[in-house]
Amino acid sequence: MGAAIAMQCEVVAIGTELLLGQIVDTNSSWMGERLALAGIDSHFQTKVGDNLNRMVLALRTALARSDAVIVCGGLGPTQDDITREALAEVMNVALVRDDAIADRIREMFEARGREMAENNLRQADVPVGARVIEQVRGTAPGLICPVGQKVIYAVPGVPYEMTEMMERSIVPDLQARAGTAATIVSRTLRTWGLAESTLAERLAPRLEALDEQGEGASTIAFLASGIEGIKVRITVKQPDAESAKQMLNAEEAEVRALLGDLIFGADDETMEDSVGHLLRTGGLTLGLAESMTGGLVASRLTNAVGASEWFRGSVVSYASEVKFDLLGVPEGPVVSDEAARAMAEGARKMLGADIGLSVTGVAGPTEQDGQPAGTVFFGICMNGSTDATHLQLPGDRDRVRQFAAISLLDLLRRRLLERE
């Protein structure tokens, strides 16, 4: 690895709808995370509307204080899309139509059997001296615009197009400019059920060892993701992709050795993906009975593609009579150990499943059956026995429901792991 320069790159997001709050600017957040991961500092992010003078001002302000700027949006075909014009002005050059790009845009419309309005060819206009980032997912290409020793990258605001150009072209170009010949890769391990401070304690031996290694060691960061738990992100930097992958795998093994089954998944894997995977490999089916969560657990489970292999269904027994009549819950308080157990058994039987799972409780805002809001009972019926667990959850109605749903999924996950 050569001596890397601390490269600063800021993001300018284009669009009046961003300033008016009609759209939340999630692109800039994604880019900020991606740049940090690539070891590139990002000190400012700006939003500006579809106005030429103000776009030029925002770009010049950004260039004055950073080495590189990524401008996102305003590359489409309509008269509002004037990022190309702003770039030409900042670069002090003319905009010239690029015939190769124009042909490609025409071909894309033909291939889709759609007529092309003439203004689509505006997307083929390129400031003199700019390099083109070829469009592979949309009609508008990206641009790499040198301005003295600095650079402005332009990408479309469509997330699917933006992320692809960032990965393929912009991040590598920034890393080359920074002199980081290194490959930086990361993996996220998703945990649930522990506070960040407790996680840090569990990982302390490894964090200390990495600290001692100093420069060149893997890094470990914690990212809170609300109700979905805490992510543990491992990042490594190596001269090439192969050694980076090996180092990442080795570090993952170290972290897994300390955290064990607190980790429910990696990267984009959700709690329901994890549960689905365990049910599928175990050849088991699941039936649910939900009360306070009102269908939330079932809707999470059925988000997973292929859920029909292992998910039988759910009885959302919101009214107490439904619990008594359908699920065979004995008459009495429905927010209780007994009710949770009976619901789990009833669900298993009614839905013809291997495992029965249930949740009953008080979402709030008011109490029920003398139990305060946040009271939750879970039942689980598997391997010929049934038990119940009790939790007291904090927060408002929505939070209690969401928290109960993921807690129940995690309970099932742990029981399936024990069984293995």
We find the least distance from the C-beta atom of residue 86 to a copy of itself, in angstroms, to be 14
**23 part of the interface to a copy of itself, by CB under 8 A:** yes
Among 319, 328, 330, 390, binds a copy of itself (CB under 8 A): 319
Provide the CB-side half-sphere exposure for 303 (13 A, CA).
13
Backbone angles phi, psi at 140, to 5 degrees: -90, 125
Whichever of 129 and 313 has its CB closer to a copy of itself, that residue is 313
**332 part of the interface to a copy of itself, by CB under 8 A:** no
Strand segments (E) across 142-193: 142-147, 150-155, 183-191
**How far does CA 217 lie from the centroid of its chain?**
26
Site string for a copy of itself, 218-257 (x = CB under 8 A): -----xx---------------------------------
* Kind of pairing between the strands at 286-290 and 355-361: parallel
Contact window for a copy of itself (CB under 8 A) among 20-28, 67-75, 83-91, 248-256: 20-28
DSSP three-state, residue 406: helix
Tokens of 217: 């060691």
**149 part of the interface to a copy of itself, by CB under 8 A:** no
We find the least distance from the C-beta atom of residue 240 to a copy of itself, in angstroms, to be 26
Sequence letter at residue 113: G
Contact window for a copy of itself (CB under 8 A) among 49-57, 79-87, 337-345, 386-394: 49-57
**358 part of the interface to a copy of itself, by CB under 8 A:** no
Provide the CB-side half-sphere exposure for 293 (13 A, CA).
28
Quote the CA–CA distance of 294 and 400 in Å, as a whole number.
12
Backbone angles phi, psi at 403, to 5 degrees: -65, -40
Backbone angles phi, psi at 109, to 5 degrees: -65, -45
- Tally Cβ neighbours within 10 Å of residue 17: 14
Among 313, 333, 395, 415, binds a copy of itself (CB under 8 A): 313
**46 part of the interface to a copy of itself, by CB under 8 A:** yes
We find the least distance from the C-beta atom of residue 236 to a copy of itself, in angstroms, to be 18
**195 part of the interface to a copy of itself, by CB under 8 A:** no
Output DSSP code: residue 293: T
Q: Which residues contribute to the site for a copy of itself (CB under 8 A)?
A: 18-26, 28-34, 36, 42-49, 51, 54, 57-58, 61, 65, 223-224, 285, 288, 290, 293-299, 301-303, 305, 307-308, 311-319, 321-322, 325-326, 350-352, 363, 365, 397-398, 401
